[in-house]
Amino acid sequence: MDEVEVLQHVAANVARGYTPARGCGFQTVAISRELVDSEDRPLLEDLAAYYEVSAERRCSGSLPVKESLFRLPSGRMALTRTQDWGTGPSGRAGNYLSAQLVFPPGALEGCAWDPFALLDAAIEQGRLADLSARDLPPLRLHPVESACLPPMAQGAGRLAEVLEELLTGEGTILVVGPEGTARRLIAALFAVLPSQERDDLTFSTHFYRACHPHRSAFRLAAIESHGEAPADPSAYRIWDLASDTFEPGRPAGLYSRWLAAGLAAGRFEELRSARAAIDGLRAGLPVPLPAAPAACAAVWERAGSVMVPALLQNPGCLPEVLRASGAACSLADAILAVGSPEQLCGFQSQAEGAGECLAALRVAASPRSWRAWQHRWRSHPAVGALAGRRWAWWPW
């Protein structure tokens, strides 16, 4: 993946920040000059401030690290890490440091990047832990893909429905459970989701109660327990990892079910292969399809009819793909719309394989599409063999 140039913003509770006249308090400490007068700065400063820790967690020493990705008014994306930073200028605990990276619009489209690894690299490279007031130069970062990820065990039962909601719904999904689990899910989704779906995946780990006013900025938000949840739970779709409950909504589609099963089983290479196929097909590139029929069927649901020419390169897989797709009518209709039995079944159009392929298509396709195709190719021997006995409409 190519290097990306990012702007920076750092905020904390300091005695003297970037704007000395503000005096003491939580404020911008350091910032890239390009952001100083930008339309994005107010939202950056606003969201940087959202970090709270319950007394229970503070006592236990288990202080959360909040990471979030959200869209800015200019169309840029902001990736943030906020964490406890010991004492403030007053000598009291509760100080926190918010380091934000701002990406140009479209900078990360088309590449499967790991947001958490990017934050690690930026913080190490950019000295963002330095609290002296200063200008920050843009950083040049090299996005990397997620490394091999462990399977998703907890909450696997409802994962398909959650994914369906994430891909096709609106509003914020609130994940209640260990924040590490939500973080692993987010990292995994960034590794396996196609580009178009990934670009809409805004998230916030450690979405404490007070974050409620900004829920619309995040599609996925995570909290450790119901005690940390916002006061108005009706504004969210809540996924409880411990009890594995998710308010039933739309039934999970084929892609969501397949993706959930793959994440739960840790089949990341298969998921990555499907991701690459979907991205390639949407871009009009010749790409190999996944070997597994179930993966092909899942790719169909996301990529749509652009997948048909690639499917026809390997017509032998058509019956299994059609079966794996649950005899998807739309897939069969799209295939029939392409053309002749030779195009559909390749060199095997005269052999038994062609018959199996056409039989599978006949079962899956809509009656209208099948009749139209059959009428169009009625003179072809393979089609004729499927025609069956013709009955005269006249009685004599």
116 binds other proteins (CB under 8 A): no
Angle at CA of residue 35, ends 34 and 36, nearest 5°: 100
Q: How far is the CB of 92 from other proteins (least distance, A)?
A: 5
Query: In whole angstroms, how far apart are CA 106 and each of 47, 111, 162, 186?
Result: 22, 10, 26, 20
Strand-pair category, 139-141 with 134-135: unpaired
Of the pair 24, 265, the CB lying nearest other proteins is at 24
Of the pair 91, 367, the CB lying nearest other proteins is at 91
E strand residue ranges, 208-356: 220-223, 236-240, 245-246
Positive or negative torsion for Cα 375, 379, 384, 387: positive
In the numeric block, which tokens belong to residue 5?
């140039």
227 binds other proteins (CB under 8 A): yes
- Match 């190719």 to its residue by tokens: 377
Residues 334-353 that bind other proteins (CB under 8 A): none
213 binds other proteins (CB under 8 A): yes
User: According to CB under 8 A, which one of 1, 5, 24, 316 is a site residue for other proteins?
Assistant: 24
Q: Residue 196 class from Cβ within 10 Å (0-12 exposed, 13-18 middle, 19+ buried)?
A: middle
Of the pair 56, 120, the CB lying nearest other proteins is at 56
Of the pair 54, 330, the CB lying nearest other proteins is at 54
233 binds other proteins (CB under 8 A): no
210 binds other proteins (CB under 8 A): yes
Angle at CA of residue 371, ends 365 and 375, nearest 5°: 135
22 binds other proteins (CB under 8 A): yes
Q: How far is the CB of 227 from other proteins (least distance, A)?
A: 7
Cα–Cα distance for residue pair 86/64, rounded to 1 Å: 13
Taking CB under 8 A as the binding criterion, the range among 42-50, 160-168, 173-181, 191-199 that sits at the site for other proteins is 42-50
Strand-pair category, 4-14 with 25-31: antiparallel
Q: How far is the CB of 334 from other proteins (least distance, A)?
A: 49
* CA-closest candidate to residue 103, choices 34, 153, 37, 45: 34
188: phi then psi, degrees, rounded to nearest 5? -65, -40
Q: How far is the CB of 243 from other proteins (least distance, A)?
A: 21
Cα–Cα distance for residue pair 376/361, rounded to 1 Å: 15
Of the pair 94, 178, the CB lying nearest other proteins is at 94
Of the pair 60, 366, the CB lying nearest other proteins is at 60
159 binds other proteins (CB under 8 A): no
Cross-strand pairs, 269: none
In the numeric block, which tokens belong to residue 137?
């130069």
Cα–Cα distance for residue pair 11/350, rounded to 1 Å: 71
User: According to CB under 8 A, which one of 33, 209, 376, 378 is a site residue for other proteins?
Assistant: 209
Of the pair 17, 143, the CB lying nearest other proteins is at 17
Q: How far is the CB of 55 from other proteins (least distance, A)?
A: 4
In the numeric block, which tokens belong to residue 349?
């159009």
Q: How far is the CB of 94 from other proteins (least distance, A)?
A: 3
Of the pair 129, 359, the CB lying nearest other proteins is at 129
Residues 62-101 that bind other proteins (CB under 8 A): 86-96
Q: How far is the CB of 333 from other proteins (least distance, A)?
A: 51
Of the pair 94, 304, the CB lying nearest other proteins is at 94
41 binds other proteins (CB under 8 A): no
Q: How far is the CB of 135 from other proteins (least distance, A)?
A: 22
Of the pair 40, 114, the CB lying nearest other proteins is at 40
Cβ neighbours around 379 below 10 Å, total? 7
**Cβ(89)–Cβ(72) below 8 Å:** no
Cα–Cα distance for residue pair 45/39, rounded to 1 Å: 11
Q: How far is the CB of 32 from other proteins (least distance, A)?
A: 21
**Cβ(350)–Cβ(341) below 8 Å:** no
Q: How far is the CB of 47 from other proteins (least distance, A)?
A: 10
Q: Interface with other proteins by CB under 8 A: which residues?
A: 13, 22-27, 46, 49-55, 58, 86-96, 209-211, 213, 227
